[in-house]
Amino acid sequence: MQRQKCHKSPLFNEIEALMKFLYDYLWIPLRIQRMLNSQGIKGPPYRFIHGNNREIAKMRQEASSKPMALTHDIFPKVQPHIYSWINKYGRNYLHWDGVRAELVISEPELVKEILKNSEKTFPKRKPTIYLSKLLGNGLVTVEGGKWAKQRKLANYVFHGESLKNMTPAVIASVETLLEKWKGQEGKEIEVFNEFRLLTSEVISRTAFGSSYLEGEKKPADMLESEELAKEIQDCVMKIVKKREDKVVNGEADSFGNDFLGLLVNAYHDSDKNNKLSMEDLVDECKTFYFAGQDTVNALLAWTVLLLAIHGDWQDKARREVIGIFGNQNPQPEGIAKLKTMTMIINETLRLYSSSNGMLRRVGRDVQMEKVVLPANIDLLIANAKPRLLSP
């Protein structure tokens, strides 16, 4: 007897698709919510498909529409939803990014337990599409052996001797900025944007041996481009090609001892354990440039604001710098003696962190000391802990 092949009817396919949709977008979120609620972890209720995104957007809009006093307590302004929900639901609470559950953690004991875990239970969260294009598979996003290889290169760049060699380039960039400001005397200056240009210039000089201001295309301007990834890759590869051509033509005996030089050396390394692919090289350059620019730019701006508010500390810092360097340019040996300036920078970082927290995810169901966490939920280990650190 000849067997006939069974075909699913269009109606059956539609019902099957609907069931899967409801399972992913309704049943799983409600199951996770019930599980964590039963363990004392509360939060705003899950809203079908949108999660809490509409509430978060509304809270951010309201916070940004109101002027705020000159205060260090910026947490309610920059993260109003986290501030509000921590106060309402406790140090650990659950909210929803669409259908993705995000557990916000600020309780020190639980944070410590997560960070001390050595079983790779809490891997890095997969970056967003935008962030993935911006940073690629650089040090910030990779893990395991690849992370160890890239971290080794980064450690060399930030070694004491390497940093000392960067001092002249940093001074040259700062002098260029100060000379520009002389022509703006008596006028209002958008300091945050000026520091963005400065950090771009310093990173370009110290890491890539080129001037940001001389470039035909400024990487910061590419952020709005639809061809962001390709343009950045082309830009980096042109600089790499120049380094390689100089060595081939006998104009240089090495690829350089800056960050880019180390990456190009690793690209040409015959040892597979140390070798980088061209994609890895480009991704490391993108990570170093954009992550470095964003964090240092914010630190400079906040530091200057604090010094403007606290004139007494501004005077102390100025006296210290003049006492060590006089009217001369800073030297590496003297920089290490700047105790007051170091205190100011550290206090600025405490008050105004460069990140709102550390992003992780739960790789598998895990039993913690006080709670069981289900697999595949996101974690935000919050930096802001108002009950622990008072501004």
**Do 205 and 319 lie in a common domain?**
yes
**Do 181 and 109 lie in a common domain?**
no
Total residues found in the chain within this entry? 391
**pLDDT value at 388 more than 50:** no
Residue 357 lies in a domain: no
**Do 178 and 116 lie in a common domain?**
no
**pLDDT value at 284 more than 50:** yes
Which CATH number covers residue 238? Answer: 1.10.630.10
**Do 378 and 326 lie in a common domain?**
no
Residue 4 lies in a domain: no
**pLDDT value at 224 more than 90:** no
- Residue 70, both tokens: 């000159």
Range of the domain at 345: 144-351
Per-residue burial over 284-311, b if 16 or more Cβ lie within 10 Å, else e, is: bbbbbbbbbbeebbbbbbbbbebbeeee
Q: What value, to the nearest 5°, has the Cα angle with vertex 57 and ends 52 and 58? A: 100
For residue range 29-52, list pLDDT tens digits in order: 999 999 999 999 999 999 999 999
For residue range 147-174, list pLDDT tens digits in order: 888 888 778 777 777 788 888 889 999 9
Mean pLDDT (whole number) for 174-193: 90
For residue range 314-327, list pLDDT tens digits in order: 999 999 999 999 98
**Do 301 and 184 lie in a common domain?**
yes
For residue range 187-209, list pLDDT tens digits in order: 898 999 999 989 988 988 888 77
Which residues, other chains included, contact 138 with Cβ-Cβ below 8 Å and sequence gap of 6+? 150, 283, 284, 286, 287, 288, 291
**Do 319 and 370 lie in a common domain?**
no
The domain total for the chain is: 2
Q: What percent of the chain has pLDDT over 70?
A: 91
Report pLDDT for 289: 82
Residue 6 lies in a domain: no
For residue range 229-271, list pLDDT tens digits in order: 677 778 888 888 999 999 999 988 888 878 888 889 888 988 8
**Do 204 and 278 lie in a common domain?**
yes
Residue 3 lies in a domain: no
Report pLDDT for 7: 63
Question: pTM, whole model, 2 decimals?
Answer: 0.81
Mean pLDDT (whole number) for 202-228: 60
